[in-house]
Amino acid sequence: MVYHRPVFNLFHRFFASMRVLNVAEKNEAAKNIAAILGQGRATRREGCSRFNKIYEFSMDLNGSNCLFVMTSVSGHLLNFDFSQSFRHWDSCDPLALFDAPIVKKCTEEYEPIRRTLEREIKKCSHLIIWTDCDREGENIGMEVVEVCQRVKSSIHISRARFSEITPVAITRAVNNLTTLDERVSQAVDARQELDLRIGAAFTRFQTLRLKRVFPRALADQLVSYGSCQFPTLGFVVERFREVESFIPEPFWKITIEVVREGEDSRAIFQWKRGRLFDRACCTAYHEHLLENPIGRIVHVQQRPKSKWRPLPMDTVEMEKLASRKLRIGAKEAMQLAESLYTKGYISYPRTETNSFPNELDLKPLVEAQTQDSRWSDFAWKYLAAGLRPRNGKKSDQAHPPIHPLKAGTNLQGNEARLYELITRHFLACVSEDAKGAETTVRLLMGAVDSTAASSLESGEVFEARGLVIHSRNYLEVYYPYETWSERHMPGFELGEIITPDKIEMTEGSTTAPNLLTEADLIALMDKYGIGTDATHAEHIETIKKRAYVGLQDAKFLVPSQLGMGLVEGTLFAGYDSMDLAVAKPCLRADLEVDLKA
């Protein structure tokens, strides 16, 4: 299929008055874009879908008067499926699905949207795609083009690119229209086709196979497979194995306490050796120190100490923070973020960028936050002092980090909580690091002779650290999510002789790692390239919905018996026991890299 690629800066070449069909990815986005471009004068009428309205308004574009017709889809309009003869589970061997013919068609659910597009495009000479500016959005835009060109092949097609639904961004987009990137869309098609073929073949194979082995237990169970879903499950199983197989190991350590009169009178010195796993050896050191309980201060240093403000927020960081700080799951966090975006409260929430571009003017974004009494003083302070964002090293060359666009004082519930997190994070990263001073004191104990060859007689070093905070800076606004506590201790002088008040040997034991939280799992998926920032949440949700994992203490992910069996093979031959790497991250990670190449 041939796609036309005109740029709308050439509008003056066409008729003086044109009818232009505009298609956004969601109805809320269409409504808000129409409100901006129509300057509040857009009229609404019904389409074939009751969820996707049509908004009409007139506007001048490059000297031409145009009637803009704005509507929307609801995500992907078309989906891959096997041809009819391969759709039934008993119609073929699962292996045949790797080569079976497939079609891309509109599902029954979205037929009303398709009919709206076909009806409206007949009356239009131009089509502008306003879908989200990421890989999925590019593919959805191509799907809209495909539907429209079936009805009107001569339609002129353009692409609006934007990262936020604000008057400035939308006006800039409509005045600088570009073209769809077919290669990006084709990469999504390739991934969708692979996911369909691999997922369907393995799902049918393992479901039918396991139901024969466990007819009662799995009578109504779909044992699905996905090339992102299984590595995600694999991470949970691997951590569970580590916890279950962990054997605590005892250790011993020595601490020294020095108490002085007055305020800040207590200092705890930690052994520089840390801990020993040999009790007899630690006891020998302890007894030697008790026999030689005089020490000397051999090092006193005070140096500036900073606590770094956060990096600008990308999607993965938003999902992790929402999970850890707000106890909001990744799926809900993305839904909330998308809602805030389409309402114009935040920038585009699907981004891999953690560095603000130089051309982005941060001042009006901070000025907008002076309307909120919770952080208005903080915003005014750094507007006066100057904005110096801390920047990371990641950029997807498409969207800036997630940031607030306007005050959110009217928001409620979890939308308000997520907006507050995003706003406090943004204000924190454009302010300054917290500043303080750290004092390090080293105490040499048990030194009988400075020339002694024995480690016992040459003495043991203990260290204490104190911290005084001078300026909290970013923590003034970020305090609900991060803290920095002072550690007071008495003053010491170099060469000072010390008689400790307590020389204590204590016993402890190593502890198992924690089971994975959702935030931990997202971090692993991001590290190993499983899925994208846009799909992490849905993969985690899938393994929950399939009952492959459950939650312990409403926080930790635990594999079910079925989940363990699929990966490890406790009751039947799992993939690991067959030496197949389908639950390992390497296969999917390599695919994601290839799709970006």
Same domain, 497 and 579: no
- Contact in structure between 184 and 197 (CB atoms under 8 Å): no
Give the number of other Cβ atoms within 10 Å of residue 522's Cβ: 29
Beta strands in 89-215 (DSSP E): 102-106, 126-130, 156-159
- Contact in structure between 315 and 352 (CB atoms under 8 Å): yes
Same domain, 491 and 381: no
Which of 164, 185, 206 is a domain's end point? 185
Q: Where do we find the tokens 């593919």?
A: 139
Q: Can you read off the two tokens belonging to residue 322? A: 């929402």
Which of 483, 509, 535 is a domain's end point? 509
Q: Can you read off the two tokens belonging to residue 228? A: 């992102």
Same domain, 422 and 447: no
Same domain, 167 and 42: yes
Same domain, 358 and 478: no
pLDDT for 363 equals 93
CA 566 to chain centroid, in Å, comes to: 27
Separation CA 331–CA 217 (nearest Å)? 29
Separation CA 535–CA 526 (nearest Å)? 11
pLDDT for 221 equals 82
In a domain, 198, yes or no: no
Rounded to an integer, the average pLDDT of 27-49 is 95
pLDDT band at 15 (very low <50, low <70, confident <90, very high): very low
Same domain, 17 and 130: yes
Q: Which of the 8 DSSP states describes residue 514?
A: P
Same domain, 523 and 398: no
Separation CA 434–CA 310 (nearest Å)? 11
Of the chain, the percentage scoring pLDDT greater than 70 comes to 92
Q: What is the CATH number of the domain that holds 94?
A: 3.40.50.140
Separation CA 115–CA 131 (nearest Å)? 18
- Does 318 score more than 60 pLDDT? yes
Distances 434 to 355, 381, 393, 490 between C-alpha atoms, Å: 20, 15, 21, 23
Which of 378, 408, 429 is a domain's end point? 429
Separation CA 503–CA 501 (nearest Å)? 7
Q: Where are the alpha helices (DSSP H) in 214-362?
A: 229-245, 279-291, 315-326, 330-342
Same domain, 389 and 465: no
Q: Can you read off the two tokens belonging to residue 358? A: 């130089």
Q: What is the CATH number of the domain that holds 356?
A: 1.10.290.10
- Does 6 score more than 70 pLDDT? no
Among 242, 410, 248, 417, CA closest to 318: 417
In a domain, 212, yes or no: no
pLDDT for 575 equals 64
Among 249, 199, 257, CA closest to 229: 199
Using alpha carbons only, what angle is made at residue 309 by residues 306 and 312, rounded to the nearest 5 degrees?
A: 155
Q: Which of the 8 DSSP states describes residue 88?
A: S
φ/ψ of 455, rounded to 5, equals: -65, -30
In a domain, 335, yes or no: yes
φ/ψ of 135, rounded to 5, equals: -60, -45
Q: Can you read off the two tokens belonging to residue 104? A: 């891309």
In a domain, 203, yes or no: no
pTM of the model: 0.83
- Does 10 score more than 90 pLDDT? no
Cα-Cα-Cα-Cα torsion 352, 355, 360, 364, nearest 10 degrees, comes to 100
Among 303, 301, 283, 302, CA closest to 291: 283
Phi-psi region of 547 (alpha: psi -120 to 50; beta: other; left: phi over 0): left
pLDDT band at 554 (very low <50, low <70, confident <90, very high): confident
In a domain, 569, yes or no: yes
pLDDT band at 582 (very low <50, low <70, confident <90, very high): low
Q: Where do we find the tokens 């650290």?
A: 465
Q: Which helix (H) or strand (E) holds 355?
A: none
pLDDT for 597 equals 57
- Span 187-242, pLDDT tens digits: 999 999 999 999 999 999 888 888 888 888 777 888 889 888 989 999 999 999 99
Separation CA 340–CA 411 (nearest Å)? 9
**Residue numbers of the domain that contains 401:** 315-429
Q: What is the CATH number of the domain that holds 582?
A: 1.10.460.10
Same domain, 24 and 134: yes
Q: What is the CATH number of the domain that holds 461?
A: 2.70.20.10
Among 29, 48, 51, 21, CA closest to 151: 21
Q: Which of the 8 DSSP states describes residue 396?
A: -
- Span 304-313, pLDDT tens digits: 999 999 999 9
In a domain, 218, yes or no: no
Same domain, 168 and 55: yes
- Contact in structure between 142 and 171 (CB atoms under 8 Å): no
In a domain, 87, yes or no: yes
Q: Can you read off the two tokens belonging to residue 502? A: 């307590």
Separation CA 555–CA 58 (nearest Å)? 52
Question: Annotated catalytic sites, by residue?
Answer: 348
State the total domains in the chain. 4
- Span 100-117, pLDDT tens digits: 999 999 989 999 999 999
In a domain, 195, yes or no: no
Amino acid letter for position 329: G
Same domain, 142 and 15: yes
Same domain, 352 and 418: yes
- Span 40-75, pLDDT tens digits: 999 999 999 999 999 999 998 877 889 999 999 999
Q: Which helix (H) or strand (E) holds 57?
A: strand 54-61
